[in-house]
Structure 1
Amino acid sequence: MKKQFYQEFNRSVYRETLANGLQVELLPMAGFNKTYAMMTTDFGSVDNHFVPYQETEPVQVPDGVAHFLEHKLFEKKDHDAFDLFGELGADSNAFTSFTQTSYLFSTTSRLKDNLQILLDFVQDPYFTEQSVQKEQGIIGQEIQMYDDDPSWRLYLGMLGNLYPHDPMHIDIAGTVDSISHITPEILMTCYRTFYQPSNMNLLVVGKLDPVAVMSWIKGNQEQKQFGLQEKPHRLFTLNDPAGQDVIPFRSLTMNVSRPKVMVGLRGIKRFDSGQDRLRYKLAIDLLLDMLLDDTSDNYLRLYDQGIIDDSFGYNLDMTRSFYFAYFSTNTDQQERFADEVMAILENADQELDQAADRFVGIKRAEIGRLVGLLDSPEAIGNRYGGELFARANLMDEILTMQTIELADLHQAAHDFINSQGMSVYQIVPHHQ
């Protein structure tokens, strides 16, 4: 077990890759009573085309299978893992994204027992025809519920504009039709391929003794037999890595009281390492804050003119295969909002120069926000990106952020912002 001490924060991280390939990271937090654990597999909704474990021919599985598998792993022959956590007083949950599936719990007691439950239920699949059919109905209702959510439809619609020929434009949960084709055999094929320990990581943060916890995890894993380590052979590639297939504009009519509009920006830069990706992401985060946070001249001008309101927000989503930024608001001036945001982005260099005196303050504010998250085991766990950012944790983020200068924002703007990668999606009321 390797120990890395962060003198600036008086904290240490303990790391070890177990014999079966599972990457374990432990981050003890002195003086805390809560412990948060998250077990993640590098498998998400876009990974639907691959060569199965120890096979040679590729397969295409139905959309939504990663999310479906997340649901099914909790259910066993004679119990549900949620109930086991509940009996121990722990909160448990799971989520699936485009490129990962994570299982988690938080607890203030009986950490060993909860860790055993987490490791055991994730590593002990149980699928039957009857349980799969039952889950199809449950997830089908979930999909229909999100179909009625204007904010989700806005986000998904933008993905359809930015990646019209890639699996990201399909709901992570799939469609009612696609999940109807999921079988126990398909679930097991995906499980055997992507739930190998060598494709997973386990992060435990909060109140813990690293020596004892690592011993518990090793003891659990040594009692189990796993096949040969084999990295998943994914066949997902972007339809157009240059981003020339972006759809400039689409609109959807829904039962909403006010129009919703989103501007999206697709990035095409490729990265040599996880460290490069992290530094670039943090530079983009600062860039967007400089251009449009609620202390910027742009925000105040758009707010005063009634183009945006308190619903305005922006974010950068980054995964191992793609990344994009989006800006959204509720407004009756959809076209004006889109034009203003795109103009701000296209003139980012000038905007940065004009706001150069704000850079130090913006950077300090972001560092302060990140430092504040160090008091939350959940925040530390949820920000961990695994191999995406070369296993960097929140403390690594802060140290990297401290080294970013205004010139890095200019370079990031040059690499990221291009008119061809911009798109607009709006949702309008029926009466318009």
Structure 2
Amino acid sequence: MNTIEIIRKKRDKKSLSNEEIEFLISSYTKGKIPDYQFSAFLMAAFLNGLNKTETAALTKAMLYSGKIVDLSSIKGLKVDKHSTGGVGDKTSLIIAPIAAAAGVYVPMISGRGLGHTGGTLDKLESIPGFRTDLNLNQYEKVLKKTGAVLIGQTKEIAPADKLIYSLRDVTATVEAIPLITGSIMSKKLAEGIDSLVLDVKTGNGAFMKEMEDAIDLANSLSETAKAFGKKCIAFITDMNQPLGNYIGNWLEVVESIQVLRNGKKNDLTELSLILAGAMIFLGKKSKSLEEGIEKAITILNSGKAFNKFLEIVKAQGGDISYLEDPEKYPKSNYHKQIKLMNEGYLSFVNTYEIGMAAIDLGAGRLKKEDKIDPKAGIIFNFKVGDKIRKADVIAEVFSDSKEKIKLAENRILKAVRLSNKQIKSPNLIKEIIN
């Protein structure tokens, strides 16, 4: 194999063989190909694309760069969910306990927030004592004991992905659908799952802002899952406004508790029940998606999902007293209500800017080494189509810094628009790809 010839081949829009892709990934992971050559390959792939066969080969090579977890000792189907990321998206904290309470095993390897989107690991780690750094033996033990486990990527899982993603991040090649597919699916397939539910976001707060791109990504992920013998359902969902009302790590745990324990009903609850219903269906605990959703509703209303959440958190070292009494959690030094001085119907939310406002407050990171303030965040009180009257509190912001409060307030005020006419709320589920 000749690295230069392979790069030239892709540069000239020719298809690569499985062996050529395997050589590239294996050699780069072992340090035999320098960054500058692999960067050239990434840009060629970004510009000229990879076909279905190449994408499957890329995923396979990244998958087998590390260890594939063997969960065969746990009898029952294992189902995970992956979201492409958004603002206020805390569905994992709700659907994992619902699905586990239904008898589906849920092995989740999640990520951290970067940019304007939040990360499941950061949310979980805002719970005092919660450990996301379990090794693979502990991962299997917690899954067997509670029915669900939520950890971060270990050194053994798809090490090629970590190396390649870091390079994509600094070579402007992040958005390529085949490269996104390989990154996501290599980690998900390594978890030991049988099936996967996908939540592909589209809108101004998503990475895939155009519906066409979201559908292309959903199809690529689904086809790759099926190429590896995994069942998959993909949902294209709206991210033209924050999901739920709470944005920020501990705040999102609080809203998850409001759904699991207190029966809060909003778009977050609706989407969580649909995704959990799909997991129940793929886990063969229902005969249809509709029946799966009904089971999810029953489990949520019974209190079993909240009890299961407590069980999972306790098994991973978390202090459940904060979940039982969220008011005991430390408070931010500063809290401000943001009011609008005019009235009308909420017609537009720049969700990206809302996410960036949360980062301004300290709830996220722009660089991997940035520290997060788990208390910081936003409560955004309205949805598109809602009537807003003068002096209504459109949002509340929380931070340990007065300067950060002011910065976030300015962003939020610029991120919303009102209309004299009532605006129809966007459809939460845009499309289902089975």
TM range (shorter): under 0.3
* Structure with more of its chain in strand, by fraction: 1
TM-score with structure 1 length normalisation?
0.25
> What TM-score, normalized to structure 2?
0.25
Determine which structure has more spread, i.e. the larger CA radius of gyration: 1
**Structure with higher RCO (Cα < 8 A, 6+ apart):** 1
